Chain A
Amino acid sequence: MKGNIVGHSVPKVDAKAKVTGKALYATDLYMEDMLYMQVLRAPYAHAVIRKIDLAQALAVPGIVRIITKEDLPGLKNHGLIFKDQPALVGIGEKVRFTGDTLAIVIGESNIQVRKAIKKIKVEYDKLEVITDPLRAMEEDAVTIHTAGNIVCTHKLDKGDIVRGFMEADLIVYNEFKTQHVEHITLQPDAGLATLEEDDTICIWAATQWLHDTRVDVAQAMGLPVEKIRIIQPAIGGAFGKREDIIAQLHLAIAVREVKRPVKTIYSREESIIATSKRHPMIFRFRTGVKKDGTLTAWEATVIGDTGAYASSGPAVVHKGLYHCTGPYDCPNVRGVAYTVYTNNTYAGAMRGFGATQTAFAYESQMDIIAEKLGINPIELRLKNAYQVGSTTPNGQKLYASVGVKETIIKAVEAFERLGGVIR
């Protein structure tokens, strides 16, 4: 091979800076005259805010400014797919999960800011808190967003599902559930913002989609895109979480008001409460199979809990559905997926983008089928695994580079080499 990059092991470009501790993450940025920012989160997971009393908080020494929605009536919602998420919730408006923000507090030191936050008094009227997406889908459930609790529905139809089930010798039905997963990027969420002389807002924060974040911050604030600059420092992990806006918008709002550099670092608890999660999903699979293990029909219902805001939910849950048969070929598939609002922390992208949750469900289903048929689970998989010429549930023909069977065989070999026994 020519050249010295492709086919060679090349040290990571910033590895030296990272092993010496010189790499600067958003947490490591300091500026002269810098202020600290923290936000007041919602006191309850679903409520209408009636009053926010700042008097005592403003009296805490070192507090420079407290910003609420009342200061920014023109502030627009943001969001990756739907603009359904407010950066600030105002009087008469609803909080939809305990991570929603009521006030942005800025002061000379982090200790003072945290003290002031505790002194803000909030009055609110509680609403039914929905934590179960099945409850959210019921007729009489309170609606979390005006358009209803089902964000969107996706469907899948391949072959003839009725014929598929008629051809089956055995039909297996199961329901599987997965739970919220937190990314726990080792670097806590953090950022620093400055206001340049020409009023451009510069934001240093770990961001996976810089350009989307930039456009979204600008539209929410009603500013031209050129007035927002996002600068990427070293990123202490992202795993999908940092596709969403986290502190960027609050920092931009704050720096515009106080005209001094503003920094924030979330506590770990706050990050867990307020930032995206892996979607919990419910999978209902009805699978038809012949005595010899050949799949004939696969019917799937997928319900994804996207929490208080859609984030990447519509795409993630949709992908969960499209992967419902995993790497196994089934000629007849029908499915429907619902992306549902609840009052849980919003869920978004995380490593696998919906395919991970589904893997748990379809692999469990395959094991249960193997047991019922008395077939070795490896054989069942090899019998149905994709190969060149297979078609996925959404009709994509696989015409090259399909390594599933080879992978299964090699995995079995490795397992046996390490002393594993296959029964």
Chain B
Amino acid sequence: MGDNRLMIKVTVNDRLYELQVDPELRLVDLLRDELGLTGTKEGCGKGECGACTIIMNGKTVNSCMVLAFQADGSEILTIEGMGDGEELHPIQEAFIRQGAVQCGYCTPGMVLSAKAILDKNPNPSEEEIRKGISGNLCRCTGYQKIVDAIKDAAEVMGGGGDER
């Protein structure tokens, strides 16, 4: 290691980091092992489960499928950046209210996918919600409650209420 390290600049949860990274380091490891942001989970390491979902430049990505240096210059939102530190984000509140959290291992990824759905369309149909979380597996299989939580959040956040 050492010699071929790359210098990157990346903004994570509104904080700018300048970092030396190994060219083989994955983004999920950078976040978890080096920045201590363990809210991002790894479930498969293969782009299948969505546990490692983050929002990068406005789009959800599987952080296990991105190398850390590829994040150079990007803006990243992880679960730790949802809400404002004190207050929960309405999506997080809706997940609690609707009982959408079981073991919780899929939850950070689900919450970020939910955010991406609502950022794109504040008033999504059930089908759009289901499509939007189709890359996130929940092995405790609480999908219905997760869908309910996203609908609930949409309503609270001002969209929603429209049964399309």
Contacts and interface: CB of A to CB of B under 8 A. Distances in A.
Contacts of A281: none
B73 interface: no
Nearest to B46: A268
B96 A236 contact: no
A185 B41 CA distance: 13
Given A186-B138, A234-B104, A235-B103, A22 B43 contact: no
Interface string A245-274: 000000000000000000000011000000
Interface stretch (A11-19, A83-91, A166-174, A315-323): A11-19
Interface in B40-54: 40-46, 49, 51
A31 interface: no
B103 A15 contact: no
Interface residues on chain B, size class: 35 or more
A331 interface: no
A245 B107 CA distance: 26
A237 B45 contact: no
A30 B101 CA distance: 25
A184 B138 CA distance: 10
Interface stretch (B80-88, B122-130, B155-163): B80-88
Given A20-B83, A21-B108, A186-B49, A15 B140 contact: no
A24 B83 contact: no
Interface string A366-408: 0000000000000000000000000000000000000000000
A188 interface: yes
A199 to B, nearest CB: 29
B55 to A, nearest CB: 13
Contacts of B33: 30
Nearest to B136: A186
B27 interface: no
Given A20-B88, A267-B45, A268-B44, A236 B83 contact: no
A36 to B, nearest CB: 11
A237 B80 contact: no
B36 to A, nearest CB: 8
A24 B41 CA distance: 10
Contact of B80 (A17, A21, A185, A238): A21
Given A12-B99, A24-B38, A19 B43 contact: no
A23 interface: yes
A25 interface: yes
Nearest to B139: A186
A189 to B, nearest CB: 12
A292 interface: no
A233 to B, nearest CB: 11
A176 interface: no
A19 B46 contact: no
Interface string B91-135: 010011101010111111001000000000000000000000000
B99 to A, nearest CB: 7
A187 B41 contact: yes
A12 B101 contact: yes
B137 interface: yes
A355 to B, nearest CB: 18
B163 to A, nearest CB: 17
Contacts of A30: 33, 36
Contact of A188 (B37, B42, B82, B106): B42
Interface residues on chain A, size class: 20 to 34
Contacts of B63: none
A27 interface: yes
Given A235-B103, A267-B45, A268-B46, A16 B88 contact: yes
B80 A20 contact: yes
B78 interface: yes
A202 to B, nearest CB: 20
A236 B41 contact: yes
A14 B44 CA distance: 24
A21 B39 contact: yes
A187 B101 contact: no
Contact of A19 (B51, B111, B137): B111
A237 B42 CA distance: 13
A186 B137 contact: yes
B79 interface: yes
A185 B137 CA distance: 10
B96 A20 contact: no
Contacts of B32: 28
B135 to A, nearest CB: 13
B45 A18 contact: no
A253 B39 CA distance: 29
A19 B103 contact: no
Given A15-B95, A20-B82, A239-B139, 15 more contacts: A11-B96, A15-B104, A18-B101, A19-B92, A19-B107, A20-B80, A21-B78, A25-B105, A27-B41, A186-B43, A186-B49, A187-B105, A235-B103, A267-B45, A268-B43
19 contacts: A16-B96, A18-B104, A18-B107, A19-B92, A20-B79, A20-B82, A20-B92, A21-B79, A28-B38, A186-B43, A186-B106, A186-B139, A187-B41, A187-B103, A187-B105, A234-B104, A236-B41, A236-B103, A236-B105
Interface of B: 32-33, 36-46, 49, 51, 78-80, 82-83, 88, 92, 95-97, 99, 101, 103-108, 111, 137-140
